C-alpha cells in the first residue's frame, strides 16, 4: 500500500480542539499516511477572505481522504462543507448509530447506519422569491437514487429500509422508492422494505433495534440522523463519512460550539470515531479496530469529558485512549 495523503481541515472553535485530540491518538499508530493541513471556515475567511480557498480545494481533490473538524458559518458566504461535498461529488453521507458501553442510551442493542443522499433534494440550492413569498425546487434524479441505493445495499448485513414520503410526493419520492426496489433485485440476500419518513421518526424511538441500514434522501436523512444520535448519547458521539467515487471526507456532526471553544472540555469521541471510519475506508482495518476498542474501554471506565458525566479535558481523554491503545497492542 502506497503512502496515503490525508488533508486535515481543523476549522473553527472546538473543531481545532477535537482534531488535535484525534491526531494525537493517530500519532502513536504505525500509519503509512501523510497528513497535509488546509484551511476553511470563519477564521480562514477573516485571514484569507474566503471560507474555502482554492488552495484548500485543490489539496482536497488530490487527497485520499479529508479529516474535517467543524466550522462556524459566515453569513452571506459559501458553506465550506457543502462546497466540498458538491465539488468532490461526495454523494453518500454515512452516519453510524451505535450504543457504546458506559453511555446512557435509549436501548443497549442499537447498531444501525443511516445512508443519506448528499447532493440534491431540497438542498439543491435552487430557490427564488415570488410575488407570494418564496419557493424551493426539490431535485431527485434517477442517477442519484441508483447510486445511493447501491451504496446502501453494499454495506448492509441483513436489511435495507428506504425512507420516503411517496404517498404525498408521488413523483419525487415515488421515483426514489421505485429505483430502490429496482436496485434491491440485485441483492436477493438482503431484505428490502420501505417506510414513510414520519413513521420512521417514530420507529427510531420505539424500535431502533429492528433496523440495519436506512437509505433516504438529503433532507430526511439530515433530520433523522440527528434524531438517531440522540438515542445513543448525542452529537458528541456521532461520527460521519461523506463518500464519493474518487474522494472521501470524514467529520463529526457537531458544530464548532463557540460557547465552549477554548475551554478544553469538548468531547473528542465523534472526531476520533470519524478517524476510525477513515482508517477503515483507507484499508487500515486493524488500526481502526484498535482505536475503536481502546475508545470503548475508556468510555466503559467513565474516563470522559463533562458532557458525558466525567471531568476530563479533551486532551486528557485522548491520552487515556492512547494508553489503552498501548495496552491492547
Which residues does the annotation mark as catalytic? 123, 165, 198, 222, 226
The rounded distance, in Å, linking the Cα atoms of 280 and 260 is: 31
Q: Which three cell numbers stand for residue 328?
A: 491492547
The rounded distance, in Å, linking the Cα atoms of 300 and 70 is: 26
Q: Considering only CA atoms, which of 192, 204, 183 is closest in space to residue 162?
A: 192
Of all helices (H) and strands (E), which one includes residue 246?
Answer: none
- Distances from the Cα of 105 to the Cα of 8, 135, 157, 292, angstroms: 31, 39, 23, 18
Residue pair 216/117 in contact (Cβ under 8 Å)? The answer is yes
Q: Considering only CA atoms, which of 309, 242, 238 is closest in space to residue 18?
A: 238
Give the 3-state secondary structure percentages of the chain, helix then strand then coil, rounded to 5.
45, 20, 35
The rounded distance, in Å, linking the Cα atoms of 294 and 326 is: 9
Q: Considering only CA atoms, which of 95, 84, 90, 81 is closest in space to residue 11?
A: 81
Residue pair 307/236 in contact (Cβ under 8 Å)? The answer is yes
The rounded distance, in Å, linking the Cα atoms of 293 and 289 is: 6
For 227, half-sphere exposure in the C-beta direction (CA atoms, 13 angstrom radius) is 17
Residue pair 114/228 in contact (Cβ under 8 Å)? The answer is yes
Q: Considering only CA atoms, which of 173, 77, 71 is closest in space to residue 120?
A: 173
Amino acid at each position: 500500500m502506497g503512502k496515503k495523503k490525508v488533508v486535515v481541515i481543523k476549522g473553527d472553535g472546538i473543531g481545532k480542539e477535537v482534531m488535535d485530540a484525534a491526531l494525537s491518538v493517530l500519532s502513536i499508530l504505525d500509519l503509512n499516511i501523510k497528513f497535509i493541513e488546509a484551511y476553511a471556515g470563519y477564521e480562514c475567511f477573516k485571514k484569507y477572505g474566503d471560507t474555502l480557498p482554492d488552495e484548500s480545494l485543490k489539496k482536497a481533490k488530490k487527497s485520499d481522504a479529508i479529516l474535517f473538524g467543524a466550522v462556524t458559518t459566515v453569513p452571506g458566504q459559501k458553506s465550506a462543507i457543502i462546497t466540498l461535498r458538491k465539488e468532490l461529488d461526495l454523494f453518500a453521507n454515512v452516519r453510524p448509530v451505535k450504543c457504546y458501553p458506559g453511555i446512557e442510551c435509549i436501548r443497549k442493542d442499537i447498531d444501525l447506519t443511516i445512508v443519506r443522499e448528499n447532493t440534491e433534494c431540497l438542498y439543491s440550492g435552487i430557490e427564488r422569491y415570488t410575488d407570494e413569498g418564496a419557493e424551493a425546487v426539490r431535485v431527485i434524479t434517477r442517477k442519484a437514487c441508483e447510486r445511493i441505493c447501491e451504496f446502501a445495499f453494499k454495506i448492509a448485513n441483513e436489511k435495507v429500509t428506504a425512507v420516503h414520503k411517496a404517498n404525498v410526493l408521488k413523483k419525487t419520492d415515488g421515483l426514489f422508492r421505485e429505483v430502490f426496489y429496482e436496485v434491491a433485485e440485485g441483492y436477493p440476500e438482503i431484505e428490502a422494505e420501505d417506510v414513510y419518513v414520519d413513521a420512521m421518526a417514530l420507529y427510531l424511538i420505539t424500535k431502533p433495534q429492528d433496523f440495519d441500514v436506512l437509505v433516504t434522501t438529503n433532507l430526511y436523512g439530515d433530520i433523522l440522523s440527528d434524531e438517531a444520535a440522540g438515542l445513543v448519547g448525542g452529537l458528541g458521539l456521532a461520527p460521519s463519512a461523506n463518500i464519493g467515487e474518487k474522494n472521501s471526507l470524514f467529520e463529526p456532526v457537531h458544530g464548532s460550539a463557540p460557547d465552549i471553544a477554548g475551554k478544553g472540555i469538548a468531547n473528542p469521541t465523534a472526531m476520533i470515531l470519524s478517524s476510525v471510519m477513515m482508517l477503515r475506508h483507507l484499508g487500515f482495518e486493524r488500526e481502526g479496530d484498535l482505536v475503536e476498542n481502546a475508545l470503548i474501554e475508556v468510555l466503559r471506565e467513565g474516563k470522559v469529558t463533562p458532557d458525558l458525566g466525567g471531568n476530563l479535558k479533551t486532551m486528557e481523554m485522548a491520552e487515556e485512549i492512547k494508553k489503552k491503545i498501548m495496552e491492547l497492542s
